[in-house]
C-alpha cells in the first residue's frame, strides 16, 4: 500500500536533533529502552547492553541535496551528516528516496543516464564529485539488497576488490602474502571465516543466501573503505542470517561509518544510533534512534514508526 498522498507541511527545515557530543555517541539515550522484537537476537536486540562507540566523528556530509530521475525529483533538499563510530539508518516508505540517497553517496546514481543532481556531498570535507569516481567507490563501499557474489571462488570474490590497484599493477594468480592476509581479515570481519574455513576455492555461488550476503560484506570491507553503505541487506534473508548480519553491522561501526537503508523498523531500532526518516523525498526527521522511535518530534514520523502507514 502506498502512503496516502497527503502533502506534509514542510517548513524546509527538517527536525534535526542536536548532534550528540563526540565520545558519547549512542550513549545519550540508552537509558531503559524496552523494545519488543520478534527476533531472538539478544546481543543486538538489547541496545541497553551495547557500548557506545569509542569515538564518533563526521566523515560525510550531505548538503541540500536534490536528486532526480528525468523530471522526477526523488530526493528533495536533504541535509545529513554521516559519522564514523555510529550506524545511520534511513527509514521511510517505498518511494521515499532512501535508496537513491544511499546510492548517491558513492555516485552509483550516475550509472542511470537520466539522473540529475543539485547540492553537495562531501567526504572528509572534499566534494565527492571532485574525486575520481573509482577512488570514491573504494572509500565508500556498498552492499546491495540481493546478495550478488561473482561467479568465482570465495577467495577471488574478496580478492577482486584488492587485486587491481589504481596504478594498474596486475597481480592475478600470484597471490602475495598481503592479499592473502587481507582476504582472510575481511572474511573474519564479516564473520564468515569460521564457516567457510580454509576452503576458499569453493564457488561463491554454493554458499547459502546469508553466507553470500556476508561474503558481499567481506568483499566490500576488503578494500578498507571508510564508509559502508547497506541497501536493505537483510531483506532477502532468514531471521538467523539477519541476526548474524545485524550483529556484524553493529561491530563494524568502530572502523567504518555505516549507513543502512531498511524497511524493517525493528531492525533500525536494533542497529541504528541515528535514524533519518524520509517521506516522498524529503527528510522529515533526523535524530538519535531512541528519540525518533520513542519521542518523534513530527506527527508524520509518529505515524510511521507506530505503523500508521507505509
Partner 1 sequence: MASAQTLDRPARNTIARPPRESHASWPLADRLCHALCWATGIGLCLVTAWIVLYMLVKGISALNLKLFVESPAPSLRERESGGFLDPLIGTFIITAIGMAFAAPAGVGIATWLTEYARPRWLARAVESGIETLAGVPSIVLALFGLLVFARGFFSFLSGSTNGGAVSGKSFLAAGLLMSVLALPLIVGTTREALTQLPSRMREASFALGKTRATTIRRVLLPSIRPGIASGVVLGMGRIIGDTAIIVVVLGASPKLQGAGGAPLLSTLRGSGSTLTSYVYGFSPAGEGNSPQKAYAAAFVLLMIVLALNGVVTRLSRGRSLDTIEQGAKP
Q: Which of 140, 82, 76 is nearest to 108 (CA)?
A: 140
Q: Roughly what angle, to the nearest 10 degrees, separates helices 154-163 and 209-222?
A: 20
Instruction: CB nearer to partner 1: give 131 or 297.
Output: 131
CB of 11 to partner 1, least distance (A): 35
Q: Considering beta carbons, is residue 64 or 208 the nearer one to partner 1?
A: 208
Of 62 and 158, which CB lies nearer to partner 1 in the complex structure? Answer: 158
User: What are the cell numbers at 228?
Assistant: 559502508
**What's the min distance (Å) between Cβ of 220 and partner 1?**
7
User: CB-wise, 35 or 205, nearer to partner 1?
Assistant: 205
**What does the alpha-carbon distance between residue 9 and residue 41 come to, in Å, rounded to a whole number?**
38
User: Which CB, 141 or 264, lies closer to partner 1?
Assistant: 141
Q: How far apart are CA 75 and CA 83, in angstroms?
A: 20
Q: Closest distance between partner 1 and the C-beta of residue 150, in Å? A: 5
Query: Minimum distance from CB of 162 to partner 1 (Å)?
Result: 9
Our CB check for partner 1 shows the closer of 83 and 219 to be: 219
Nearer to partner 1, 78 or 237 (CB): 237
In the complex, the smallest distance separating the C-beta of residue 35 from partner 1, rounded to whole angstroms, is: 27
The H or E element spanning position 30 is: none
Degrees to nearest 5, angle at CA 189 with 105 and 154: 90
The string of DSSP letters for 228-255 reads EEEESTTTTS-HHHHHHHHHHHHHHTTT
Find the distance separating the first CA and the last CA of the chain, reported in whole Å. Answer: 7
Q: Name the residue nearer to partner 1 (CB basis): 163 or 284.
A: 163
| Angle (nearest 5°) at CA 108 between 119 and 217 | 125
3-state secondary structure of 202: coil
Residue ranges that bind partner 1, judged by CB under 8 A: 106, 108, 111, 133-139, 141-142, 144, 146-152, 160-161, 163-164, 205-209, 212, 216, 219-220, 223, 236-237
CA distance 97 to 73: 9
Pairing of strands 126-127, 115-123: antiparallel
C-alpha cell at 124: 572528509
CB of 21 to partner 1, least distance (A): 33
Contact 221, 228 (CB under 8 A): yes
The whole-angstrom separation of Cα 165 and Cα 161 is: 9
As measured in angstroms, the least distance from the Cβ of 109 to partner 1 is 11
Residue 272 CB, shortest distance to partner 1, in Å, is 22
Amino acid at each position: 500500500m502506498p502512503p496516502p498522498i497527503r502533502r506534509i507541511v514542510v517548513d524546509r527545515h527538517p527536525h534535526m536533533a542536536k548532534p550528540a557530543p563526540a565520545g558519547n555517541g549512542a550513549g545519550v539515550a540508552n537509558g531503559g529502552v524496552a523494545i519488543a522484537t520478534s527476533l531472538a537476537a539478544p546481543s543486538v536486540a538489547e541496545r541497553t547492553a551495547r557500548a557506545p562507540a569509542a569515538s564518533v566523528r563526521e566523515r560525510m556530509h550531505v548538503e541540500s541535496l536534490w536528486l532526480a530521475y528525468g523530471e522526477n525529483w526523488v530526493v528533495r533538499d536533504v541535509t545529513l551528516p554521516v559519522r564514523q563510530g555510529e550506524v545511520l539508518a534511513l527509514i521511510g516508505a517505498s518511494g521515499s528516496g532512501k535508496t537513491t540517497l544511499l546510492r548517491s553517496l558513492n555516485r552509483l546514481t550516475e550509472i542511470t543516464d537520466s539522473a540529475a543532481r543539485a547540492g553537495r556531498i562531501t567526504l572528509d570535507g572534499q566534494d565527492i564529485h571532485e574525486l575520481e569516481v573509482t577512488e570514491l567507490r573504494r572509500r565508500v563501499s556498498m552492499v546491495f539488497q540481493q546478495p550478488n557474489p561473482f561467479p568465482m571462488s570465495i577467495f577471488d570474490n574478496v580478492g577482486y576488490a584488492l587485486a587491481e590497484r589504481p596504478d594498474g599493477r596486475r597481480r592475478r594468480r600470484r597471490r602475495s602474502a598481503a592479499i592473502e592476509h587481507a582476504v582472510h581479515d575481511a572474511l573474519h570481519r564479516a564473520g564468515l571465516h569460521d564457516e567457510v574455513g580454509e576452503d576458499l576455492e569453493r564457488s561463491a555461488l554454493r554458499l547459502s543466501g546469508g553466507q553470500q550476503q556476508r561474503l558481499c560484506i567481506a568483499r566490500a570491507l576488503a578494500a578498507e573503505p571508510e564508509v559502508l553503505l547497506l541497501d536493505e541487506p537483510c531483506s532477502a534473508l532468514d531471521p538467523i542470517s539477519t541476526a548474524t548480519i545485524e550483529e556484524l553491522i553493529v561491530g563494524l561501526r568502530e572502523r567504518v561509518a555505516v549507513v543502512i537503508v531498511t524497511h524493517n523498523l525493528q531492525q533500525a531500532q536494533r542497529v541504528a544510533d541515528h535514524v533519518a526518516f524520509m517521506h516522498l523525498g524529503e527528510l522529515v526527521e533526523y535524530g538519535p534512534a531512541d528519540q525518533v522511535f520513542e519521542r518523534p518530534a513530527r506527527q508524520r514520523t509518529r505515524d510511521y514508526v507506530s505503523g500508521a502507514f507505509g
